[in-house]
Amino acid sequence: MATLPTRRTLLRCAVGAAAALPFRAALSAPPAGNANPNAAESRIALVIGNGAYRAAPLTNPPGDAVAVAAALRGLGYDVTLRQNTRLPDLIESLREFSLRAPKASVRMLFYAGHGVQVKGRNYLVPIDADPQTEEEIQRQSADVGEFVDRLSAIRNGINIVVLDACRVNPFAGGVIVGPDGRRLKFRGATPGGLATLDAPVGTLVAFSTAPNGVALDGASGKHSIYARHLLANLPTPGLQIEQLFKRVRIGVAEDTGRAQVPWESSSLTADFCFKTDDKGRCG
């Protein structure tokens, strides 16, 4: 079983000796937003879809990840796709992405799967996690805040973190009725949904629902409600990122009767769209 020091050590490798020069160079670069984030040739993305959990499997995330990865590749992103990651794979994927990040003008993480909060911090849950206590959740999962901190150390370009990860907490106490009607019984006492995460300068963090809220996996259809609206808006020419996520929020809220309302935290300092218009502009 992985331990907390091991998990943190792996994440710190992204700014360790092998990456020291790139990160020092990034720290002396112009402030975020001075580089052209719409230069498609320097866009990278890590797309993760975890669904094959033992305690509370999810139907949509692997397919959501495949579709988002395809959409981003069509928009010129260099995409790394990972599905049903175990803890070592999840940590290594985040580490490798962090190592590549300083050379890109746009860095995007899309994660679909279980996510939980413990003591105000958010964690992405690998499929092999089997915690019995809150402390074990921290040791057996990936800390989103640590990953965002690594990206925020890069002073040029922008960071986009999209978390379709606020589904039912697989470690919450009691019984929850899943979208397919199954009664799921879980352990522990952590709150549902994810905690508020303030985006550092040059970063946008998007959540599939509001802080502490829950977004159930779709009962039918290929994709979660959030992923479906995200995919519908990604290829819109000239649509600025803030307006894109506003459209996603409106669509998800309407489809769920406002039971699920997506939320973003943004400190972007440059205009950005996933696809420019025919004149190469945003907005």
pTM for the model stands at 0.79
| pLDDT at 189 exceeding the cut of 70 | no
Q: For the ranges 124-133, 212-221, 270-279, which has the lowest average pLDDT?
A: 212-221
Residue with the bigger pLDDT between 87 and 259: it is 87
**Range picked from 24-33, 116-125, 249-258 for highest mean pLDDT:** 249-258
Confidence (pLDDT) at 13: 37
Confidence (pLDDT) at 107: 97
The DSSP output letter for 114 is B
In order of 46, 59, 93, 105, 255, the CA distances from 220 in angstroms are 26, 9, 29, 37, 13
Confidence (pLDDT) at 89: 97
Confidence (pLDDT) at 56: 81
**pLDDT tens per residue, range 65-118:** 999 999 999 999 999 999 999 999 999 999 999 999 999 999 999 999 988 888
Confidence (pLDDT) at 66: 98
**pLDDT tens per residue, range 214-241:** 665 555 678 999 999 999 999 999 999 9
Q: Which two tokens stand for residue 249?
A: 């929020």
Q: Is 106 exposed, middle or buried (0-12, 13-18, 19+ CB in 10 A)?
A: buried
For the chain, give the mean pLDDT. Answer: 79
Task: Delineate the domains of the chain, giving CATH numbers in brackets.
Answer: 4-266 (3.40.50.1460)
For residue 188, give the nearest of 87, 114, 264 by alpha carbon: 114
| pLDDT at 46 exceeding the cut of 90 | yes
In order of 54, 124, 183, 184, the CA distances from 177 in angstroms are 16, 22, 4, 6
- Radius of gyration for the chain, computed over Cα atoms and rounded to the nearest angstrom: 18
For residue 190, give the nearest of 122, 139, 137, 118 by alpha carbon: 118
